[in-house]
Structure 1
Amino acid sequence: MKIKTVEVDGKQYAEIQDGKPVYIEDDGKEVAFDAVGTRNTITRLNAEAKSHRERAENAEKIAKAFEGIEDAGAARKALETVANLDAKKLVDAGEIEKVKGEISKAFQAQLDEANGKATTFEQQLYAEMIGGNFARSKFIADKLAVPADMVQATFGRNLKIEEGKVVAYDGQGQKIFSRSRPGELADFDEALETLVSQYPHRDHILKSSDANGGGARDSGNPNGAKGNFGGSKADRVAAIKAMTANT
C-alpha cells in the first residue's frame, strides 16, 4: 500500500480526495484514507476493550462466591428439596407438582406465542433490511446486468442482521470490512461489490463495460456477456438460473 502522488512544477504532492489522502492498495484499487475516522475507531475499540476487561473482572468476583461448589446440579437439587420441605407445611407434595405443571403449561403457551411473534417480526425485519437494500442498491443499478431479486438469491445468504445492522460475510465466513474506513464494517454496496468481485461467474452478471475491465475473463462463455446475458430481462434471469444451478 502506497500513497498516490501527482507532480506539480517538478515536485511530488499527495493526491487529495474529499480532504483525504489517496492510497493505492496492492491490488491497484485506490482508497481515500479517512484518518479522522480511523482515529475515532481506534478510540472506540480501546473503550470497548476496557469495558470487556471490567466485565471480566466483575465476573471473576461473582465466581468467587461459588468457590467450593463443584457439582452445580447437586447444589440446584438441594435448593429444590429445601423449597419443597417448606411448602409441605401448606400443601401435600403431590399438589405442589400439580400446581407447578399448570403454571408450566400456561407459561409454555405464552412462550410459544411470543416465539411465533418474534419469528414473524424477524422475517419482516429481514425482508425490509436485506431485501430493501438489494432493491435500493445503486451498485446493482449501475454495475450489474441482472435484476435485484436474482442478486439477492445469489448473495443474500452472505448477509445477516446483527444488533439492528446489516453485516456482510465473505465466502470464508469472515466479516467484510471497509477499505476506505479501516476498522469499520463495509456498508451494503461496498460489501456487495466485494462479494461480486469474489464470485467465480461475475463476468456473467456485470454489465459489459465492467465485465471487460480490470483484466476480467469469461472462461465459461467465450462470448462474454453476449447471447442470453445481453437479451431481455427474462433472458438474463433464465441464463443466470441455469448458470448457478450448475455451480
Structure 2
Amino acid sequence: MYIGDDGEIAFDAAGSVAAISRLNAELAAARSESLKIVSERDQLQKSLVAETVGARLARSKVAGKLALPLDIVQARFSGAFKIENGDLTAYDDAGQKLYSRANPGRTAPFDEAIEMLIDRHPSRSQILKGTEPATGVSSPTSVAGASITRAAFAALSPSKQMETARSGVRIVD
C-alpha cells in the first residue's frame, strides 16, 4: 500500500519492477539501434567527404603539381575535411579550421585549403613535383661524402637543410 495525500492507494511492487525492467530493456534496444544508425551515418559521411575531396582534387589547380597519384593524395588528406553548411571545410592536425589567406576571416576554399595542408606536410617535397632546387646532389642523403654548394644549401627549406646537414653532405664554397 502506498499512502499519499489522497489516502491509501494499492501498489503492485512486483508489477512495477517488471514494468521498469521491460522499459529498461526497450531503452537498451533503442540505444543499441541508435548507435548502429549513428555509426552508419558517420561511415556514409566519411565516404561522401572522400568522394567530394577526390572530385574537387581532380578539378583543382593543385592536381597538375602533384607527384603522387590523386587517390593517394585523396586518401591522405580527405580526413582533414568535414562537410559544414553544405561545403567542405578543412581542419589542421590540431583540429583548427583553416582560414583563407586571401580572404581573412573566411574559411579557406578547397584549392587554398589543400595547398595549405600539403605545404604543412613533412613530406611536401615528395607530394609535389619539382619543389626542391637543383643542388647537384641527387638527394641530400644519397651518398656519404657528397658535397653541395653553400648557395644551393641556402636555397633549401630549413627542414631540408637540417636533413642535409645530418646526412653528412659537405657544404663547399
TM-score by length of 1: 0.42
Equivalent residues of 2:65, 2:129 under 8 A apart: yes
Equivalent residues of 2:100, 2:108 under 8 A apart: yes
Counterpart of 2:21 in structure 1 is 98
CA distances 1:113-151 after superposition (whole Å, capped 9, x unpaired): 4234323422332232233333333312x2222211122
Counterpart of 1:108 in structure 2 is 31
After TM superposition, the structure 1 = structure 2 runs for residues 1-247 of structure 1, keeping only pairs within 5 Å, are 88=11, 92-140=15-63, 142-208=64-130, 211=131, 216-217=132-133, 222-223=137-138
Equivalent residues of 2:49, 2:81 under 8 A apart: no
Q: Distance in 2 between matches of 1:191 and 1:87?
A: 68
Q: Distance in 2 between matches of 1:139 and 1:203?
A: 14
Q: CA deviation at 1:184?
A: 0.6
TM-score by length of 2: 0.57
Equivalent residues of 1:146, 1:205 under 8 A apart: yes
Consecutive unaligned residues of structure 2, counting only runs of 5 or more, are 1-8, 140-173
Q: Which has the higher helix share?
A: 1
Q: Distance in 1 between matches of 2:10 and 2:84?
A: 45
Q: Which amino acid aligns with 2:44?
A: F
Equivalent residues of 1:158, 1:171 under 8 A apart: yes
Say if 1:223 and 1:157 are closer, same or farther in 2 by CA, change over 3 A.
farther
Consecutive unaligned residues of structure 1, counting only runs of 5 or more, are 1-85, 225-247
Q: Distance in 2 between matches of 1:199 and 1:91?
A: 64
Equivalent residues of 2:50, 2:75 under 8 A apart: no
